[in-house]
Amino acid sequence: MRVFNHRCETPSICADKECRIIPWIKNVVRCKVELLDLYMILPDVKKPFELPSCIFLCGSLRTLLVRILHGTIKAPSLACLSNLECLNLKYVTLGQDFFNWISSCCKCIKELNLDRVCGERDITIESTSLKSFSIVTSEDRLHQLKISGGKLEDIHIEWSSKWCWSLSIFASNLKYLEWPGNTVVNDQLGILEKAEISFAPQAYEAEGKAFDLLCSIQRVKALTLDQNTIMDLFKEGHVSVPPLDDVSDFRINIGSFSDKLVSPLVSLLRVMPNLSILYLASTPSCFSYRKNDCSGFNTKYWKSQNLPFVSQLKEVTVELSQFSYGSNPVEFTRFILEHARNLKKMVIVHPPRFAKASLDKLKKSEKTSNAHVVFCRNTY
């Protein structure tokens, strides 16, 4: 495989310098390159560096990685077919109709990664070959995103916006969705195998969107949520959760496990009757809670909820934090130990300075299963 890398970091660039870079790129294209990696940090000048379009005419090129600060890429002609299989773009400004060119002319593309690119604020990508798509952006760069692909299996979208911009996904074979943001999803996402969803801390900006999103992915098998997403589910007008019968693996960062999160968590766990793997992290929250705010629910409360998933649990991991100020995390862990009768393994991760009395309480819990219980001290 012919591979070429070019790295240029300079505080200033003159016309002569630019003239040398462009011929170098053209020579590389003539060498039947298969992988081209361009990394340039250029000054913010009135006339930005423009990537020569001959790159996209290179029939041998399969992978193109472009990271050019203050660089531009014009849309190639729609008559220009491409054999590209992987395209990674970072920082560049894309010309009008660039994504139309991808949809129409990149019939072999399998992976497309966009990281803080500028240009069109309404993006539509339709591809019969694309398998993996990722985008990192913000509201000032993007307003609407529509992506469609029968072979799409993996999507990562990092797009936070305080306005109700639209995200549409048509992907019947989608297996993995990672979505830290709070943008609207308004279409069915097929039968997902795994989804990771994390809302921006400003939960008020995402009101009601978590419910709509879960409705779109309710056939998911492995689900990861955070506390912001859970709280958004239980705002006024969205007090229910869609059935999540297919979820067998649930992972959640519950923050400080405050009292106000318990009721939403109960409702969420209630719609997962077939849950067999549970991972719960109680990590520091960006909000300050008093001990009394995180100590209102003991094992008796959890038992009274008669949650169906408890009898199905096989593996549980609980991460306790030294910033877990109250008893809620410990009481929930005790409840699992004492009532999950089919439990096979439980791992309890705790900090070196975690309260000895709380650890002793967990170690003395009377198990109803033959589970192997492991206590681990973390290193951070």
Which residue type is seen at 151?
K
Contact in structure between 191 and 217 (CB atoms under 8 Å): no
H or E stretch including 63? strand 63-69
Which segments of the chain have a pLDDT < 70?
Answer: 1-2, 4, 6-19, 43-46, 139, 160-165, 181-191, 200-208, 235-239, 284-293, 323-325, 379-380
Which stretches within 119-238 are classed as H helix?
209-216, 227-233
Name the burial class of residue 166, with classes exposed (0-12), middle (13-18) and buried (19+) by CB atoms within 10 angstroms of its CB. middle
Distance of CA 228 to the CA centre of its chain: 14
pLDDT of residue 73: 92
Instruction: Please state, in angstroms and rounded to a whole number, the distance separating the CA atoms of residues 299 and 2.
Output: 63
Retrieve residue 178's tokens.
């990672």
Per-residue model confidence as pLDDT tens digits over 355-372: 888 889 999 998 999 999
Retrieve residue 107's tokens.
């019939």
What is the SS3 assignment for 308? helix
Query: From residue 122, how far is each of 100, 112, 142, 166 by CA, in Å?
Result: 11, 17, 6, 9
Main-chain phi, psi angles of 277, to 5 degrees: -125, 125
Query: From residue 118, how far is each of 57, 89, 142 by CA, in Å?
Result: 23, 10, 8
pLDDT of residue 204: 43
Q: How many CA atoms lie within 13 A of 59 on its CB side?
A: 0
